[in-house]
Structure 1
Amino acid sequence: MEAEPGFAHSIDQLKAGVGAVDALVAGISHVEAAETVRSVGYGGWPNMIGEMECDGAVMDGTTREVGTVGAVPGTLHVAALAREVMRRLPHVMLTGQGARRFADEIGFNTQDMLFPDSKRVWSKKLDMVLSDEERAAFPDIPLVPLSNVITDPERVRDTTVFLGMDQTGGAGVATSTSGWAWKYPGRLGDSPIPGAGFYADSRFGAVACTHTGEMTMRCNTAHSVIEGLKFGLSLDAAVERAAEDLLDLGTGFLGEVVIHAFDTKNNHRVVSMNGEVPVSYWYWQDGMSAPEKRQSDQL
């Protein structure tokens, strides 16, 4: 079985001695370009008014330097753009038109990001929920009432996350997503938020979250796992401790969350909460002949 686009590429880079962040960005760039991945990059979904706004992030677990971008228009490779924020600027995060201006300055081409099938599904959904008068005036109508009417076409809120450790023991993480389909323009999920959607610390491990970022931002989930490792918990205990905080939430928007984590002792754990079925993920470590597709635990 062939692994998700880009996964094997990251493995090859790590085998060749490339640093964790660069290896992960190289792989995730293939996911961003894949039409078949319907939650990331070109294959992803637009916001409520039909515009693509993508988020991405990287973190170097050795230096704990971070670069993130959010709600970026016209940009395919947002994880690579986030890496350039980390390398070139004194800032951690750029958003919206500022992030696009930075992309222009450093040579990232502006691209048409709206995949034709995504546009078709989005337009069909609007026809179902808007009156003729609202459709004629769209998008110059109040959008707040639509936020609880328009929902994900496939319940897709699934960021792509790549986590890994290089030959020097450096941990890294890269994230990329088009975010919640039909989101209110400007919405950020957890994917570009350090500590919520991702965190890497080469002393302990790396963590990234997918699905409902509105929850992990409230609980600082990724950093919570690393904090548990720092204070001596096993990886299983650290992940389950972070999951307890998520499961304890009783108000606000609640949905599925998946925590992906590994520690420096060669352990890894992927758990899914509030989901009906396990989530698939790809795993590889040195000595394995090929990556393996595995299933998350459910809590």
Structure 2
Amino acid sequence: MKSTINPQLMKKSTPISIATWNFPKATIKAGEMLEKGASALDAVEQGVMVEEARLKNTTVGKGGRPDREGNVTLDACIMSSKGDAGAVAYLKNNTHAVSVARKVMEETPHVMLVGQGADKFAQEQGFDKEELLTEDSKEAYLKWLENKEYKPLINIENHDTIGMLCMDKKGDISGACTSSGLSYKMNGRVGDSPIVGSGLFVDNAIGGAVATGMGEAIMKSVGSFLIVELMRQGKSPQDACETALMRIVKNNVNYKEFQVAFIALNKAGEVGSYCIQKGFSYVKYKNGRNSETKSKYFIEKQ
């Protein structure tokens, strides 16, 4: 089914924020900012920062689950409606990876900084150096060391990202994606979240997409970029998500063992979502109302 975007809808856009998983406070924060006239870029940054700072979210920001050597490392990227992008990977000492990524976008000639270089840049930009490993995360890590079993659980360890898309009153779209990655990953592992085109892609003339789940599968398909290109060809956000997801299923014989999910937004404010396994949902804020939607899926949870 093709998307029929009414030009009039694009002229008078209704602000909207959508995010992977049920993170209602994040979309409320972004949505309320949009209603007050904030840009999509400011709203999407502030929206995902809510989850970066929430200690009970062990897959994003401070309090995230560490890697196999006990390090909490963060990945994030952000894209503006102008097509600019910034990203950080293997960031160790700053809760708000998305804000550091925005600084990379706005203050450097680069798109991505990693590791010690990213941490040094953050401190030069005035970000406080922080310890990201909380007592709860440390306790969970010490328990994991007893068996050292690495087997990501579908919709749990794969529940590793908040990706958000916002459209403001001008009809401009921006996006952000931030994560602490898979629990007990190999030291140095970077997933799809900071990779422009994989974890996030925005083309303001068309729309945007974000991903969550097994980053390796998403990176190999450049999933978010693919969805936007499919929308460019006339597909609705829903059809684009389904087509991109099925490409991952086709190319991974072990697809039943992991989760991948996409959400997408086009210029008319139409939303789509699709995932491999049952259990993924997304949250949307529009017209002063926040709502959670269970995503359509390819197979039942195994």
TM range (shorter): 0.7 to 0.9
Question: Is it true that 1:184 corresponds to 2:189 in the alignment?
Answer: no
Q: Which has the higher contact order (CA 8 A, sep 6+)?
A: 2
Unmatched 5+ residue regions in structure 1? 130-148
Question: Unmatched 5+ residue regions in structure 2?
Answer: 1-21
Report whether the alignment pairs 1:105 with 2:124: yes
Corresponding position: 1:150 with 2:150:
yes
Contact 2:32 2:288 in 1 (8 A): no
In the alignment, the residues of structure 2 paired with residue 207 and residue 188 of structure 1 have an alpha-carbon distance, to the nearest angstrom, of 19
Equivalences, count: 274
Compare CA radii of gyration and give the structure with the larger one.
1
Letter in 2 for 1:20: A
**Code of the aligned partner of 1:217:** M
Tell me the C-alpha RMSD between the 2 structures.
1.7
Verify: 1:257 aligned to 2:260, yes or no: yes
Asked if residue 82 in structure 1 is aligned to residue 85 in structure 2, the reply is no
Partners of 2:243 and 2:289 in 1: how far apart?
32
* 3-state SS of 2:182 partner: coil
Q: Is the 8 A contact 1:278 1:297 kept in 2?
A: no
Within 2, Cα distance between the matches of 1:201 and 1:156? 27
- The residue aligned with 2:33 is 13
Distance 1:70 1:12, change over 3 A: same
* Aligned-partner Cα distance in 2 for 1:79–1:181: 19
User: What's the offset of the Cα at 1:156?
Assistant: 3.7
* Aligned counterparts, 1:163-178, within 5 A: 163-178=165-180
Cα deviation, residue 18, structure 1: 1.2
% identical equivalent positions: 29
CA 1:55 to 1:3, structure 2 compared with 1: closer, same or farther past 3 Å? closer
**How far, CA to CA, are the matches of 1:111 and 1:289 in structure 2?**
35
1:59-70 to 2 correspondences below 5 Å? 59-60=79-80, 62-70=81-89
| Structure 2 Cα separation of the partners of residues 66 and 53 of structure 1 | 20
TM-score for the superposition, normalised by structure 2 = 0.86
Corresponding residue for 2:135? 116
* Residue from 71, 74, 94 that aligns with 1:51: 71
Does the 8 Å contact 1:283/1:292 carry over to 2? Answer: yes
TM-score scaled by structure 1?
0.87
SS in 1 for 2:251: coil
Match of 1:37 in 2: 57
Partner SS, residue 197 of structure 2: coil
